[in-house]
Structures are given as C-alpha cells and as structure tokens.
Structure 1
Amino acid sequence: MAVGVLPGQANGWPPKVAPDAFSDRIPLPCNGGSPERNVLGESYRPFFWDIVSICDLYSVAHIILLPPSLRRSYGSFPVRNGMHGAGGANGANGMNGVNGVNGVNGINGHRPAAEAPSRFAQALSHVGLGNPSWTADGVSVFTAILPTSDGYVSRSGFLHLRLQDCPIAISKIQENAVPLRKYTAPRLSPPTVNSEDGLASVIEQAAGIIQWADLDASVSILHLQHHLMRITHELRDRLNNAPWLTPQPIARKRVALIRGRPNLTAGGPIYRAARALGLDLVIVDEEGHWLQADTEENRMHREAFLTTDMTEDAGIVDRIVRSLASYPLPIHGVFTVSDNFFVTVARVAHALGLPASPVSAFETSVDKYRSRLLQDVPGQTARVSSLDELQTLLACRTKDLQEAFTPAFPMIVKPTKGWSSECVSKVNSIGDLATAVQKATSRHGSAAVIEPFFDGPEIDVNFVLLDGAILFCEIADEPPCQADSRDATVDDTFSPEALTLPSALPAEEQEIARTTLRDILVKLGFRTGIFHVEARMVNSACEYRDVGNGIIDLVRKETPPPERPACRLLEINARPPGYRVTVPSRHTYGVDFFAAHMLAAVGDAERLRLAARPFDHAYQDRTQGAQYWSRLVYVAAPKAGTVRWPLKLSPCEELKRRRPDLAERIVLGVDYCQPGDRISLFTDGARTYVAHLLVRSTVSRRDAIEVGNEVLRSFKIEVEEEVQGVQGKFEV
C-alpha cells in the first residue's frame, strides 16, 4: 500500500521534491538545541513517513526522525520543500507524496509550548530500538517490514539473513515475529496511520524493523530522497522472492545430528540454523565430545547429547537406533555432515521410518569407483587394492567379457573412500602409477580408483532438490591448483587454493552442468536434499589464463573447441559443502544450506522451498541471485612448526587492523590455529590450511580476485620451526 501517491508515481515511489528545493539543506541545530534533552519520549517525533509496496509479499514503511535540536530549527522550515503536514492537494499529503506527521507541532511553524511524551518513540523502545543508539544531531531512518498476508513464521533471524552484507549501513535489526507462531499482517489505510499513534501502531505490528545508520544533520533533501530510493530498491532485491511466512501451521520437530562437529567453528552454522528454524537438536556422538557436558552454554547449541559408541563396525547402525529409541521425545529426522557416516545414517533413517534417500544411492556416491562408472567408457577406469593387483592389471591386456584397461595419460589415482582431495594424485607415466596407488590405498584402508584426467575448468555445483526438481543451484569456479599444471608431478596435490562465485562459465555450459549432474543424482535415487557435486567442463569455451597483474581467471579461448562442451562428474557428496564453502554461499546468495539440509531431513517441504530462495539481484554481468562477486581464499601452512601470535592477535584480526583497506572488503576470516599449535605442511595427503577468508566486490569478478590475491600476499602467520636444535621463524 502506498500513501500519498502523485500522478505518474509508481507505487508512490520515488517521492518527488519541488525542483527549487534540491539545493536546500536541513539546517544545523540552532543555539537553543541541547543534546542533553535526548530523553526518550520528550522530543523525538516522526518528521515524515511513507508506505511503499515493494512486492506482492511485503510493504515497507520508511520513517524519518529528527533529533530535538533539529526539530526546533524546523519551526521555520520553508514550505517550498514540499514537506507539509497531512492534507495536501489530491490527497497527496504534500507536494511530494512524503507524508508529514504532526503538522501542528512544529513542521509548519506551529510549535507547541511543551511537547508531550512521544508515543512513537515509546513504541520503538518497546520493541528494542530507540533512544540509546540515537545521536544528538543525526537524522534517523527506520524501515518497518510489513508482510501483506497472515502466516506462520518460518524462521528467526530472517532479516539478518536477507540483509547480511547490505551495502547500506545498518545500526540494528529488530524482529518482532516469533518462529513457528502465527503472524497477523497489519491492515493499514491512510487514515489509520496519518498520526503519531498510527505510526506507533505500525511499529508494534511490523514483523521487523531496520534502524539504518544515522545520516549527517547537513543531509540535503535530494540526498535524503535518493537514500530512501536506494533502501527501497535494495529491500526489493532481498525480499522480493523470499517469503518469511508459510500459510500452514508449522509443527515443532526434533532432528538428530549423527556425529557432532569437532568444534564450534565448524558446528556453529548448524546449531544456529537449528535454533532459527525452531528445530530441537539432539547430538549423537562418542563419550568425551565437547557438547556432552550438560552446561548452560552447551544447552544453547543442543537439546540433548546421546552418548553412543561410534566405532564403524557391523553394529554401528543398531547402536545409533537404540540410542535414538531410548530418547523419551520423538525424533523426526536424522542427518550427518560426516562423509564416512552417510550410509550409516541412511540405514538408521530407514530403520526408524524417517525421511531419507535410498541406502543404495549413498552406497554408490561414497564409492568413487562406482560413481565414476556412472559416466564411464569401458577400459578407462580400474580399481585395485594393492600394488600386486596393479601389476596384474597392467600385465593383463585382454579380458574375456570386457575391454582391457588401457592407461591414457594423464590419469587420476585416488582412494575409493576419501574426501578433501586427500591422497589424490595426477599421474603422467606408468612409472608413477605405483607411487600413486601406494599413497591412495594407505588412506582409510580402501582400494584405489584409476580414472581419466578430465582437462577443463573445475566447478563445484551445489543443489537443493525437492522431489527431483531443482529449487536452487549454485555453480562456483575452482581455479587451477598445483596438480593441474602440465608439468605436475605425482607429489603435487589437488588441494583447493580458492573459489570464485558466481561462475564465469558461459550460460550454455552452466545449464549443461546443472542438467547433467541433476539427472545423475535423480537416476541414483537422490530426489530431496542438498548435494555438493564436483565436476569438470571438458571442451569448454573458456580456459584459465593470466589476464594481467598476475590475475588468473576464466576467459574465452582464442579458438573455440571443435566438440560440444560436456560435464564430467568427479564426485558426489550427499550433504552441503563443507562449512568453509557453505558460509560464503549464504553470504553471496542468501541461501543457508545447513538450514535446508535439516529441513529435508525432517521432511518439511514447505520450509525447504522457502530456504532455497536466493537474492534477486540481477544487474551488470553478475549471475542472477548473487549480491556480489566473492572470492574464498585458503591460506596454506608455510612451514611445519609451532604457531605463534607475537601481537596477541589472530592472524585474520591482525591483517584487518594492519590493512583497513582490506578489512572493509573482507566478509569473514576464520583462523584454524591457536598459539602453541603444532602444524605440518601436509595433513592426510592434502595441504594443511591455517585460515580462510572471504572477500567481496560489487565492482567486478576481476576486482574480487585481485582483492583475494592481495589478502593472500598480506596475510602473516608466524610458524616457529626447530631444525637440528636451531629455531627459525617463517611467515606467509
């Protein structure tokens, strides 16, 4: 609903200001103004307001307040600015459609001798906003979020999620809607809100209120107008396709996490998402886990902890089932983010009659040999459990029922069971096969799979599926790593170095990737859930090249490939991407994969749809749904040794303090090490990381990469290594 609409104004926005008022500025406080009179209810009153419909789901109410010192100056505010009291011509409440309030209390020169307590300010204070954070002389801007229909609140923290990294500075967000409870949308009309009491009622009925950072007292009317226009457009992009409410009541449910995370850094996003969704979280894990103790802090993260022997043997499923069955309250879903427990958890879910994909789908996805056969050409892939089997395979050039295995270099050797690029090798000759197989079979006691190396850009493709349909799909680019080099040796690793969102692949190739990988998932039996799939685009129109200043990025090939592009599967992870990548996805697109994962586990299809709605930003050459380009950079350990913090600051925090120019571009930085920790150069056959940082750019993808490179160059971590009794310090 728009109030104060002028002819030619769409939805009452933008408000128009008389042309001769553009150069006018709000006057500075007069001598009679006193910051000491900054007392709630005495002087803060609405100056003007407007209600704007930003989409079918929401209207917003923008409200401008002046501090006491400026309000006294407005006894002589010129009428030509168009900010009149209510009752303008044609029902427009003033020349510009911006609705003045309390037209008799000082806006148009009629100032009462004494002001009564402000009903509006009291309403703000009641919902948790107001006077303590107001400045004495700034112009305050509030926006009330008004859903257009009744419904049940899908999650708490909704506005915080949708407004994260908003380019317009925010002082505070207050949500009045309570998770799972019914929210009744306000029924507003111009007469009901054309007073201070009416605006107070809007604040009290709003689902949420945003208090933007104060504007300087010298702000011009034109700048104020543009500021409100920018707020409106930004809110539209963030809320347009994201329902906060669901029409049907939401039953409170309980979900069990099999294998709690090793620490709060890795588990925090899961625990916070459960609380926001109103899900009661039960942890099933070993004796001695950090969440086991029944402390007040642990109760913030989980409802209960079920101590269970998690030894991965034939009895693991029965032990977990018994633990869950012994809990006195109903369990509505089970899930895990631990790769080696996917099959176990699927069997637990089926034993308890809970939502889950078929066990057979998980059995194939966790076996890299079986998953490779989904796209295999006979003779290109083999599986060996030992060096003796490798020798037999190479010696046998013919087989009765199938084509002989014929190595075509380069090839990839990796464990059939593994994760995080552990013990994955690129092999360029027969002589290196034995080394690679030995490395792969020594990890997890599994066999090794030998497969083709697919030459082309590597991508991470993250799906949210419901009944086989794609609710959301994100494609991110992995730049070349050590082993991608043409002269890479068997000792070089495929450990990732960075990730860039959104993808720079052509739209046609992105669609090929989406369709190909989704069809593989559904054919396996995966129909609902979150899936992190790694793949490569062969015959891509793009390749990685140096585009200047040391920036390596995807660009069009000078000569188009002779064949059509195709997507080749590398591996399937039936879970969200790791927490390092899930959090950047939430920031870039506004989609919380951990929340979606739990909703799929309890079979909440309606809220799963709501959780999979990305932002609606779509401009410049940015992929629709991303609010900016982002670059996730991994900081590898420079040396083996002991970590030191000489300045008593974590390396990420020290970087931000030393380089404020980079700090404003860093969305988040996570350190993995504490002072005194001993680190190695490699962990389980992959590079050891000491931190990761996410940077953003609203300028360009190239700018995001450049900032990420500078972050890596500027990052410093001190590692003290003892070599033959001599200690040395190394920094990266």
Structure 2
Amino acid sequence: MAIGLLSGQPTGRLCNMTVDSDTDSMSSAMNTPPSPLSATNGPTSQARPFIWEFVPLCDLYSVAHLILLPSSLRLMSALVPQHGETAPNGISNGQHQPRFMDILAALGLGAVSSVQNGISIFTAILPWTDGYVSRSDFLHLRLQDFPFPISKIQDCLGPLRRYKACRLPLSRSEDDLATLLESAAAVIQWGDLDSSVSILSLQRHLLDLTHELRCRLHDAPWLVPHPIARKRVALIRGRPNLTAGGPIYRAARALGLDLVIVDDQGHWLQPDTEENRMHREAFLPTDMTEDDGVVDRIVASLRRYPLPIHGVFTVSDNFFVTCARVAAALGLPSNPVSAFEISVDKHRSRLLQDSPGQTARVSSVEELDALLAAATPTFTPTYPLIVKPTKGWSSECVSKVSNPTDLAAAVRKATARHGSAAVIEPFFDGPEIDANFVLLDGEVLFSEIADEPPCDADAAGASVEATFSPEALTMPSALPEDEQRVVRETLPGLLAKAGFRTGVFHVEARVVNSRCRYRRDGGGGDGEDGILDLAPKESLGELLTNEPACKLVEINARPPGYRVSVPVRHTYGVDYFAVHMLAAVGDKERLRLAARPFAFSSSPSITTHDSSHDSGLPSRAPGAQYWSRLVYVPAPAAGVVRWRSGMSPCEELKRRRPDLRERIVVAVDYCAPGDRVAMYTDGARTYVAHLLVCSRVSRRDAIRVGEEVLREIRVDVDE
C-alpha cells in the first residue's frame, strides 16, 4: 500500500513508499537487498540516508522536518536516486556527507554520525518574514512540557537581533535543505525513535508533532518588524533568593532588558561576582527603610547611575506605592499613584464594590465598640464576616468571624499586624478564584481563572483561629462558562475604576450564587474518599434563583507570586514577569506579543477523552496545553528541618515514586537541613515546598495526582 507521511499542505510528500501491508516496519520496508549504488566503497558510503519535508505551519512560521535513518537501512532500488542526488520524494541515497550534516554538527545537535542506530528527527523553525527578535528564548518558552522528548533546542538568534527570512524557491535538493537550516531561527532535535518503528507510527508521530508546534506557535510572533531599542529597567527590592528571582532575571535577559537592582546594603545580589553579573547589570545599595524619605533616596540612587533608566517596577507588595511615586518623579511609565494607594488599602479597595452598611474600618477594639454602640449605626455586622488588616498580604491575620463574641479578638489580631487598621467586610460564600489580567491601555489582552479549593476557614464551623491560607490551585477553572464570563466582565471594570490601565494584575475573588460547589466524588460522595473538586449542585434546595455575581476580595497590582506565575507560564505560555517589565518601560508592542497564549482548543489533541466534559463543566480552557494542579506543602510541625534521606523532600519523592515524577512539572523546596520552621507565620500557614503537576487526560486526573503528591511527600521536622 502507499503510505504518505505528513499530509496537509506541504510543498511535497515527505515519503511515498510501497510496502507490504503485513510488514510495515521501517526496518522491514527498507532492509531490502542493497542496490548497486549501496555497495559503493569508501568512507562516504556510510553516510546516513535521510528524508526531509518543508511544511507551512501557520501564517507566521514554516518548518522543515529532517529524518535521518540508520545507515544500516537500505533504500529500495526503485527509490534510490543516482550519483548522490536527492529524489523528488525527498529521499537521499546516503552516498556522501551532505553539507547539512556539517551544519547540524556545527550547531551541536546530537549524534548525527553514521553509527547512529535510531531514527533521528530535526525540525528547523522558519519565520516567514524578516524582523527583530522580541525575546531570545521564545521557542524554549513555547515548547515547555512538549509531550514528545526534546534532546536539544538550538536558538540561532540573540536578543533584539535582526532575522532575515529565507526566500529560496524550493527544488527539494540537499542544498535547499542546507540553506533552510542555515536560515533557521532555531533547530530542534527530538528524541530518537527506535528503528523498528512502523511507518504508520512514524507518520502519526510526525503529524502529532506538527500539530503541537502549530498550537504553540500560531498567532504568537517571535519578531517585530522594526529595530528594538535596548532599555534599562530598575527592580525596586531584589528578590530574597535565586529561586524567587530567577524567572524575573531570565526574562529580562531574554528580552534584552538591562536590569538594575535597588535594595539595601548587603543584599545577595550586591557582590560584583561573575554569577551576579549574569542576573543584573548593576546593584544600587539604598536605604529601603519604609519612611517618608524612601522615595527620595531611591530617586537619588537612580539619578546617580551613569546610564539612563527607562522604567522601574517592583513585585514587593509594600513597595507598590513607593515604586509608582518613583516613576512619577522620574517621568517614567506607570499607572497612577492613586490607583496603587487604593489597591494596597483593603478598605478602600473593598469600597470599589460595596453596599452601605456592609463594610467598616476600625483602628482598635475601642473604636469597634464605639462604632457598634452608635445611636445611628453606620455599620450593621452580618455574620459570618471577615476581619483583616487594611495593609497586608498572603492571608496574614485574616479571620472569619461567625459570632459577635469573636469579633473583638479578630480586630485585635488584625490591628497588631503592620500597625494598620482593620477592615470588617462580608464573607462571600462561594467558590474562591484567582483571576489574572493583562491590560494594555484598558484593553484585556489575556486573562485566566484558577480555582482555589476550600481552606480551613471555609468550613461551616471554622473558628476565628482558622486560616485562609491556600492549599492548592487548579487551572483552568471548572466554573461554568457564563460564570467565568461574569468574572471577566466584573473584575476589569473594578481595575479601571481604581485607575489601572496597563500591566498584569492578580485579583482574588469569589463567585456567589454559583451553580457549583465543592464536593468529594468517586469514593464516597461527601465522605473522606474521592476527589474534591467543583461539581454542579444537585439538589433543588441548593439551586438559587439569584444570578451569579463576582465579589472582589483583593487587588494585587503585580503578577501573582512566582509560585503561581511559573505554573501559568507552563500552562498557557504567558510569562507575567516579562509583561510586568515591558509595561514598566512602556514597550507596548512587545507587551502585546508577550500576552499571546498557546492556541490549543478546548479538546486536547493527543489525549484520552476528557471525563470532566461529561459532568457539565467546561473542558480544558482554550489556550491551556493541559490541566495543572499547584500543591502547597505545609510544615507538618514546628521545629528543625532534617533531610534524613540525604535528599530534599521533593527530590526524595521523585526518586521514590518515578510514576509521580513523570507528572511533576515543577518542584521547589524552600528549606535546607537545619532551618527552623513554624507551623504558622503571621497567622498564615508556613509552607516548606510547592509542586506543580499536570494532566493531558482530565482535570480530575490532575487533582488526583496532586492529592497523591501531597500524601506521599515526606518532610522531616524535629519538634
């Protein structure tokens, strides 16, 4: 039968072979008696035969696939061309060392020698048009967690460099292939296939590989049409360690942004070492004491720097307003200072979406008592309610109050944190979500919603001591599409009301009157077994006549923390830290490009059937390459951390459970042996690690693996 590889609309067929239908393996089809040409003597006779194909991928890219066959395989005499030329079907007789082999070797791409026994596959990425490199590690970003093994990605373009597209008319010669490889923006070497693979399996493999590339690169430009000016951006408050700061430093380097760090004397990035110079251009030691003079001190440090500063940014919550004031003083791009002042004050941000009498602000228990005893009350508490510091983060000192007796204790706890007042607000009963938005001049370029399962304080009988510390995060959201639409319409409106126009924003909210609730399923209904996830409400008593609504919890005018930003980058292909820095320097064109997610549809292409679709909930959200579950690992006790196995908890888990290792995308330990940990830090759970797991099967499968990871990880603490 005739087998055609890589169908679609390629320039030519990858391969048309006539093979026996009962023996369709590559070795069976090709290991025929040698033709007279295959008996040629000399060293060049051992060159590997190959097949190649030029494939238009989408409007932005084409690709050239090259398949190197083992030298032991013999091509059928009917297909072998004469004198070392390439046949019209793209098959070489392998009688000489073609120039493209030297190009692959120069790129450092694997073993392309004649002794290779497997089938080697290479793909050249070829943008259709000329341009300048928006981000040098673009392909690494877009190919994260590719479902087929990648041996190496060889980038051929540096940051901001010019790329010239190849425009040769294809005659399907070896010289054309060599020219395409030389013109490639990048070349990928995939994991070798066994030589016994069937032709049909190779066909499916190449079709799936091409489909994956199309979904990752479609509508995602690598290049801009005009030169990109090199800019310098200052990070106000460097990160505490390389784990937390690495994604920022790497993104800056790939974007061609020179990074200057402003922080206290003695910061780990201050020493002028070779390693530190990889992460930043300069370090400006500055007194960062949070007083009335901190803005002037930062401005003075930046003005003393001999090179121009084009933007400033921070990811430290307590420096949002300071950073905005620095930008205003230097005439640099930023949202208004007033917008940040609203976002960092939880009482003022609550008033963006408030009803009279729902919310109060008090500075002490005495002020609370006076408020409640007023002859004309302006605040009428309705239980349960929430008490939290007006200035705070990470669920610190946030309390759920279910009765008047606990209200004073909650206010006392909240006002003791950061010396701030306490805000008293309604408790919104409904699924909690994290929603992230990328805005450009008020336009939403990208948004995604993730689900937070219930925490301790969500329980009906939770005490005032229960915490709102997150336990996990699942993305994409399983809320019904109409409820997600309400979220995407409500929250950007509140951001605009606060005054925000451009940047990335991490917003926490709840959906009230949702048609879903959390329950355990598959093991015992609402019992201890089964998977805990959102599911449609079943009883008529649970279905409310009120329309679903999105209620704001808080606004964070920054990317989510690196624990969440990195999973979003893996799941959707959007790097929030890159967006954040491009907004800071006012690079609107590249900001728009950085907000392009993957182009996967809601139905996984190389997966089994999505069981979550049968539940009436949405399947994988458009853009997501898989379902993912972020798992937070809390300290099991207060004490000293020990690594009894000699390995960190995450590494020990992966060694002990290789089945789970295959599903773990990211694993980060926070503690080293000898570190002291508490079970709670400032009223929130203390975490010692986090892991991201993924599933291309279903959301339920991702949650199941995440829960198993949490059960299986071993954290040793000597109490």
What's the TM-score once normalised by structure 2's chain length?
A: 0.91
Deviation at 1:145, TM superposition (A): 0.4
2:123 is equivalent to residue 143 of structure 1: yes
Residue of structure 1 equivalent to 2:609:
none
Aligned to 1:99, what secondary structure does the other structure show?
Answer: coil
- The question of 1:683 aligning with 2:681 is answered yes
The one of 142, 161, 171 aligned to 2:141: 161
CA distance, structure 1, for counterparts of residue 509 and residue 407 of structure 2: 23
Contact 1:44 1:66 in 2 (8 A): no
Matching residue's letter, 1:341: F
Contact 2:33/2:74 (8 A) holds in 1: no
Structure 1 counterpart of 2:164: 184
Q: Secondary structure at the match of 1:27?
A: helix
C-alpha distance in structure 1 between counterparts of 2:641 and 2:513, whole Å: 44
Change (3 A) 1:366 1:678: same
CA drift at 1:547: 1.4
Assess, with a 3 A threshold, how the Cα gap between structure 1 residues 185 and 412 changes in structure 2: closer, same or farther: same
Letter in structure 2 aligned against 1:468: G
| Aligned length in residues | 682
Structure 2 counterpart of 1:266, from 244, 269, 276: 244
State the Cα distance separating 1:197 from its structure 2 match: 2.4
Name 2:74's counterpart in structure 1.
74
Residue 201 of structure 1 deviates from its aligned partner by: 1.4
Determine the C-alpha separation between the residues in 2 that align with 1:93 and 1:180.
39
1:133 Cα offset (Å): 9.2
Q: Contact between 1:17 and 1:222, CA under 8 Å: does it hold in 2?
A: no
Which of 619, 622, 625 is equivalent to 1:624? 622
- Would the alpha carbon gap of residues 581 and 42 (structure 1) be closer, same or farther in structure 2, given more than 3 Å must change? farther
| Partner SS, residue 100 of structure 1 | coil
Partner residue, 1:10:
9
Secondary structure at the aligned position of 2:121 is classed as strand
- Give the residue type in structure 1 aligned to 2:578: A
Call closer, same or farther: CA 1:41–1:335 in 2, change over 3 Å: farther
Distance in 1 separating the partners of 2:711 and 2:449? 27
Residue of structure 1 in register with 2:662 after alignment: 664
Describe the superposition over 1:331-362 as per-residue Cα deviations: whole angstroms up to 9, x where unpaired.
00000000000000000001000000000000
Contact kept? 1:42, 1:118, Cα under 8 Å: no
Does 2:441 correspond to 1:451? Answer: no
Higher mean C-alpha deviation, range 549-558 or range 23-32: 23-32
Deviations 1:314-334 (A, max 9, x none): 101000000000000000000
What does 1:415-454 align with in structure 2 at a 5 Å threshold?
A: 415-454=389-428
Q: Deviations over 1:123-149 (max 9, x none)?
A: 112223143799720110000000000
- CA deviations on 1:497-518 (whole Å, 9 max, x unpaired) are 0000000011111111011100
Change (3 A) 1:134 1:259: farther
Aligned counterparts, 1:192-231, within 5 A: 194-231=172-209
What is the match of residue 516 of structure 1?
A: 490
Q: Which residue of 2 aligns with 1:573?
A: 556
Q: Which amino acid aligns with 1:564?
A: E
Please, which moves more after superposition, 121-130 or 342-351? 121-130
- What CA distance in whole angstroms lies between the structure 1 residues aligned with 2:281 and 2:600? 37
Alpha-carbon offset, residue 227 of structure 1: 1.1
Q: Deviations over 1:413-457 (max 9, x none)?
A: 000000000000000000000111111011101000000000000
Amino acid at match of 1:26: M
Residue of 566, 572, 586 corresponding to 1:603:
586
Matched, 1:715 2:713: yes
Shift of the 7–158 alpha-carbon distance from structure 1 to 2, 3 Å rule, reads: closer
CA 5–182 in structure 1, closer or farther in 2 if over 3 Å, else same: farther
Whether contact under 8 Å (1:543, 1:556) holds in the other structure is yes
Q: Which residue of 2 aligns with 1:131?
A: 111
**Structure 2 counterparts to residues 266-285 of structure 1, below 5 A:** 266-285=244-263
Structure 1: unaligned runs, 5 residues or longer: 34-38, 107-111, 722-732
* 1:395 lines up with 2:373 in the alignment: yes
Task: Tell me the distance in 1 between the aligned counterparts of 2:497 and 2:80.
Answer: 65
Shift of residue 19 of structure 1? 7.1
Q: Deviations over 1:659-690 (max 9, x none)?
A: 00000000011001000001001011100001
> Corresponding residue for 1:724?
none
* Residues 669 and 689 in structure 2, CA contact (< 8 A), matched pair in contact too: yes
Unpaired runs of 5+ residues, structure 2, are: 35-41, 524-529, 604-618
- Report the 3-state secondary structure (helix = DSSP H, G, I; strand = E; otherwise coil) of the residue aligned with 2:583: helix
Cα drift, residue 56 of structure 1: 0.3
SS in structure 2 at match of 1:64: strand
Q: Which amino acid aligns with 2:573?
A: G
Structure 1 residues 488 and 9 mapped into 2: Cα distance closer, same or farther (>3 Å)?
A: closer
Q: Distance in 1 between matches of 2:235 and 2:56?
A: 41
Q: Which residue of 2 aligns with 1:637?
A: 635
- 4+ residue stretches of structure 1 with deviation over 6 A? 4-8, 28-33, 39-42, 132-135
Give the conservation status (yes or no) of the 8 Å contact 1:530–1:593.
yes
Give deviations 1:584-607, integer Å, cap 9, x for gaps.
Answer: 000000000001100000000111
Q: What SS does structure 2 have at the residue aligned with 1:321?
A: helix
Instruction: Assess if the C-alpha contact under 8 Å between 1:44 and 1:121 holds in 2.
Output: no
CA displacement 1:368-419 (0-9 Å, x = unmatched): 00000111111110001111111111111515xxxx2111000000000000
- Measured in 2, the distance between the counterparts of 1:13 and 1:705 equals 44
Distance 2:537 2:518 in 1: 9
What SS does structure 1 have at the residue aligned with 2:221? coil
Q: What is the aligned partner in structure 2 of residue 311 from structure 1? A: 289
* C-alpha contact 1:43 1:118 (8 A) present in aligned 2: no
Change (3 A) 1:84 1:381: farther
Q: 1:500 to 1:13 in 2, by over 3 A?
A: farther
Tell me the equivalent position of 1:613. Answer: 596
Aligned with 1:405 (options 351, 357, 379): 379
3-state SS of paired residue (1:159)? helix
Q: Distance in 2 between matches of 1:601 and 1:56?
A: 30
What residue in structure 2 maps to residue 727 of structure 1? none
- Matching residue's letter, 1:290: W
Deviation by residue 1:171-201 (Cα, 9 ceiling, x = unmatched): 100011221011001113222xx22222111
Change (3 A) 1:394 1:254: same
> Alignment partner of 2:26: what SS?
coil
1:28-80 C-alpha deviation (Å, 9 max, x unpaired): 898999xxxxx998844451111111100000000111233x2xx315x364x
Aligned mates of 2:45, 2:316 — CA distance in 1: 57
CA, structure 1 residues 638+86, in 2 after alignment: closer, same or farther (shift >3 Å)? farther
* d(CA) in 1 for partners of 2:440, 2:185: 28
Change (3 A) 1:650 1:405: same
Preserved CA contact (<8 Å) 2:12 2:54: no
| 1:487 positional shift | 0.6
Shift of 1:551: 1.1
**Farther off after superposition, 44-53 or 690-699:** 44-53
Asked if 2 retains the 8 angstrom alpha-carbon contact of 1:46 and 1:63, the reply is no
Structure 2 partner of 1:36: none
Residue identity in the other structure for 1:660: P
Give the TM-score taking structure 1 as reference length.
0.90
CA distance in 2, matches of 1:599, 1:568: 30
Q: Give the distance between the partners of 1:40 and 1:279, measured in 2 at CA.
A: 49
Query: Which of 73, 95, 99 is the aligned partner of 2:90?
Result: 99
One-letter identity of the residue aligned with 1:619:
S
Correspondence for 1:174: 154
Q: Could you say which residue in structure 2 is the equivalent of 1:728? A: none
- Give the match for residue 312 of structure 2: 334
Q: Does 1:484 align with 2:487?
A: no
What is the RMSD computed on CA atoms of the aligned residues? 2.4
SS in 2 for 1:268: helix
Q: Answer with 182-191 or 246-255: which moved more.
A: 182-191
* Paired AA for residue 443 in structure 1: R
